[in-house]
Structure 1
């Protein structure tokens, strides 16, 4: 049985640079699914690595080197070969610091019926959902028929984060354990125009509709870290806290692609392992995201170290800068 399963897609990315002009970069592992899986893997004790899973759809053009790289993560990723289609590919186009994205080949979403084909995914403890609000509700309803005790973290699609969708979101929030938009998405959903929006007030617009015990909202704030607020109605002691980012020096940030997906993967994996401790999960989500944005593409895993650093070393660095959080961290790493 998996602990963590993502329903995010696998995509092979290409980066094209229009202005300033740089050579293109090809065959980059991308998509919300792999980023969420590696985020969960970065902060997991090694004995849990095979309990991190998702579906990787391989088309006829799937590069061997990508398969070999994913294999180094030692997760429970499921490779599904299709001899009748190309692998889902996309291109990130960078122009004057603005990124746009377009698909180069038809995309293949992960559907509930795909998950149900595999016993280890069907009874997963936690699911990472990144989809439209309408589809989120349908997925939870369908999975709930076979796995009624599953835990959900929902990462909304940026294009779906519109104020006209806020009422639909209010119907979904009671079904979600952890809701995690980024700051821009949270503002767009609630029509909050203030540049320096009060994060507590912003979170209240979501947590007031969350009804599951110990549920809450985590707003990802980029260089400012994350803001965590639990539901007042669902939790006897409401938590309301901002955690600093891992990289305070922005010169160490190379590419933010996948940072949010990896945060969500790391957060919900540790939320389960720590017995739903929000501070511990937030710290681990921040560490996952910080590791991802240090380089283009996926981090390199060697001897259980990502980009040359173990989880213990990253925690040590983070707690040295934020000693007030060290005593609140409850997950024993072994």
Structure 2
């Protein structure tokens, strides 16, 4: 994908977390970098091999933050804005279900160290083309409004960037539906997963139902996503793929890169965040929500192949992640998506 001298993406939220992975009968794995900021950043980074510095990564690091994790981020070649603080680094424990080895919970061990829009003042990151936000409706509304004001005060030519919002799961409830619909009008893309979307509605079904998901997604589109209602909703649905919908584009379902039982799925933690980071790069390159989602599915496939982050080796056009060229995987996925579409893979509404 083409290079650029500008910052393309900055992810904001509760910063970088240091996870302790606990599985029954195994020794804990400590200091695994995680959190929405980390995974959205790596998702975007996958798709800019020739211009890694176009991705910004900003976070607070306590005195106990592992130097090797910082070096890992530096090895990606991103524009790193590291803010050292006296507070302990953000840490948590990830628990897995003994029966199926799937993630079942997360417990915070420390307070989060969130990055706010104000942390971008006086940096190149403030002028980024796009932002990924993770948080509540109130947080996103206030942050986007403040971001626009700061960019206006700094005389940026593009005062309103492209914004993707990933809601906080605990805040997705029937009593917060209207607040989320209102906040969605201030962003370009609203992206809950299928369980979060279902949590807004009393008529949600226990079984996976594409028609129900499309109906619920349409309620956000009808309320208006984006300042002119021209935004998009993307419902990430794990092994079921994802739904892409806007007022201009009818419902489309994209398959997950790996099918259940393929043996390649090790840990889905962070896959949704990485999806959205890559989605943003795809959209910035093409202006297409669908092409962005295709990039997102490919990025998610790299994240689920291991516990933690995918492994980078090589440089520029010769770089590979987990020993695979990202663009080669993108080409293979796009071919499969086209074939699925010809066989009737289009979702209806």
Fold match by TM threshold 0.5? yes
Pick from 129, 133, 146 the counterpart of residue 142 of structure 1. 146
Q: Structure 1 residues 186 and 34, CA, compared in 2 at 3 Å: closer, same or farther?
A: same
Task: Name the CA distance, whole Å, in 1 between partners of 2:257 and 2:188.
Answer: 24
User: Which of the residues 330, 337, 343 maps onto 1:315?
Assistant: 330
CA-based RMSD = 1.8
Shift of the 98–72 alpha-carbon distance from structure 1 to 2, 3 Å rule, reads closer
Select 2:169's aligned residue among 131, 135, 158: 158
- 1:190, distance to aligned residue in structure 2 (A): 2.7
Q: Secondary structure at the match of 1:93?
A: strand
Change over 3 Å in CA distance of 1:28–1:196 after alignment to 2: closer
Q: Which moved more, 1:97-106 or 1:197-206?
A: 97-106
Q: Deviations over 1:55-89 (max 9, x none)?
A: 1222111112111211121111211122x222111
Q: TM-score by structure 2 length?
A: 0.86
CA shift for structure 1 position 98:
5.1
Shift, 1:326, TM fit:
10
SS at match of 1:60: coil
8 A contact 2:60–2:114 mirrored in 1: no
CA contact (8 A) 1:319 1:326 kept: no
Structure 2 residue corresponding to 1:203, chosen from 211, 214, 217: 217
Distance in 1 between residues matched to 2:69 and 2:291, nearest whole Å: 32
- Classify the secondary structure of the residue corresponding to 2:7: coil
- Find the partner of 1:262 among 258, 274, 285: 274
Q: Kindly indicate whether the alpha-carbon contact (under 8 Å) linking 1:129 and 1:136 is maintained by their aligned counterparts in 2.
A: yes
Task: Measure the CA separation in 1 of the matches of 2:53 and 2:340.
Answer: 29
CA contact (8 A) 2:274 2:303 kept: yes
Within 1, Cα distance between the matches of 2:334 and 2:59? 35
Judge conservation of contact 2:60–2:115 (CA < 8 Å) in 1.
no
- The aligned runs of 1:59-98 (5 Å cut-off) are 59-82=62-85, 84-96=86-98, 97=102
Change (3 A) 1:310 1:146: same
Deviation at 1:101, TM superposition (A): 1.1
Give secondary structure in 1 for the equivalent of 2:93: strand
Confirm or deny: 8 A CA contact 1:30 1:297 kept in the other structure: yes
Flag structure 2 segments of 5+ consecutive residues without an equivalent: 1-5, 152-158, 343-349
Among candidates 16, 19, 26, match of residue 13 of structure 1: 19
Q: Name structure 1 gaps, 5 residues minimum.
A: 328-334
CA contact (8 A) 2:20 2:32 kept: yes
* Residues 1:98 and 1:12: Cα distance change in structure 2 (over 3 Å): closer
Q: Output the CA distance in 1 between the equivalents of 2:103 and 2:290.
A: 33
Q: Is 1:99 aligned to 2:104, yes or no?
A: yes
